[in-house]
């Protein structure tokens, strides 16, 4: 059995011959009728997506907000969804948390111990004291936001410091430094930033990188693969959510998700 998140991710990727991470963003307004008729729509929909796509995925990324917005029912559904994911496939919980140290310690306990996520997305903006509680879980993965795919990333992340270095490069260097202790740091780099990826990868040369933004957000898969994984044996996860889980709104939603996931897995492999 793997002892760390990185080992679990490597084994899952090798077994599935995949770099595909499937995002689970259950939106009631987009779900098929079969899910809406169930007693637990979020759990029904997501668990069936997992069962339909598990041969193509090397990781799953439930988005905490979609569950949290549904109150206690959503939280219970999230627990069911995480338990439905095969144990050998890593679960990256997308919550983007980060607060003062004492608060972060409770976030870490909630997500790593109570929900048993293998990894978590974290906002590094408040610095080392706010991220240390997550890093203390040495067998878990911590995905720090480095350069995101949203348009607003221009507001802060690409601003230049006094030395001419953009903020996202400074963040990448911090991730590298923080990784020295337990080798459990990872980064999030949006697919809409292919030109910036090489600079980040030159710094984060061994750390796992999660790349969201392929599919509905318009990221260029070929450009991403060319700049971050092609010709290199680096731990990279290409994440897609809506383009897979909402490939069909009909009764064939499971089959459509399976076809979409497998097609994307193959495209990624062809470009590696």
Active-site entry in 80, 96, 158, 266: 96
Q: How many residues does the chain have?
A: 272
| Residues whose CB falls within 8 Å of the CB of residue 267, separated by 6 or more in sequence, listed in order | 221
Cα(178)–Cα(141) distance, integer angstroms: 12
- Token couple for 118: 């293998």
Is residue 96 flagged as an active site residue? Answer: yes
DSSP string spanning 181-233? HHS-EEEEE-TT-HHHHHHHHHHSSSS-EEE--BSTT-B-HHHHHHHHTTTS-
Spatial strand order of the sheet with 185-189 comes to 59-62, 20-24, 236-240, 209-211, 185-189, 141-147, 119-122, 92-97
Rg (CA), the chain: 18
Residues annotated as catalytic (active site), given as ranges: 96
């Amino acid at each position: 059995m793997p002892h760390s998140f990185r080992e679990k991710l490597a084994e899952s990727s090798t077994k599935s011959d995949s770099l595909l991470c499937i995002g689970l963003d259950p939106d009631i307004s987009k779900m098929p009728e079969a899910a809406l008729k169930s007693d637990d729509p979020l759990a029904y929909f997501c668990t069936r997506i997992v069962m339909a796509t598990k041969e193509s995925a090397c990781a799953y990324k439930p988005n905490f907000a979609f569950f949290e917005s549904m109150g206690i029912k959503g939280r219970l559904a999230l627990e069911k969804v995480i338990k439905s994911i095969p144990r050998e496939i890593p679960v990256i919980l997308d919550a983007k948390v980060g607060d003062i140290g004492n608060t972060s310690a409770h976030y870490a306990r909630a997500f790593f111990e109570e929900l048993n996520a293998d990894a978590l997305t974290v906002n590094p903006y408040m610095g080392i004291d706010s991220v240390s509680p997550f890093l203390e879980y040495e067998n878990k993965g911590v995905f720090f936001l480095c350069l995101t795919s949203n348009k607003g990333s221009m507001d802060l992340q690409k601003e230049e410091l006094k030395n001419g270095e953009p903020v996202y490069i400074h963040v990448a260097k911090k991730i590298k430094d923080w990784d020295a202790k337990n080798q459990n740091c990872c980064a999030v780099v949006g697919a809409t930033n292919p030109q910036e990826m090489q600079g980040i990868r030159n710094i984060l040369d061994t750390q796992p990188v999660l790349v969201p933004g392929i599919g509905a957000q318009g990221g260029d898969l070929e450009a991403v693969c060319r700049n971050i994984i092609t010709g290199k044996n680096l731990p990279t996860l290409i994440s897609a959510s809506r383009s897979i889980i909402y490939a069909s709104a009909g009764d064939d939603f499971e089959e459509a998700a399976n076809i979409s996931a497998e097609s994307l897995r193959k495209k990624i492999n062809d470009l590696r």
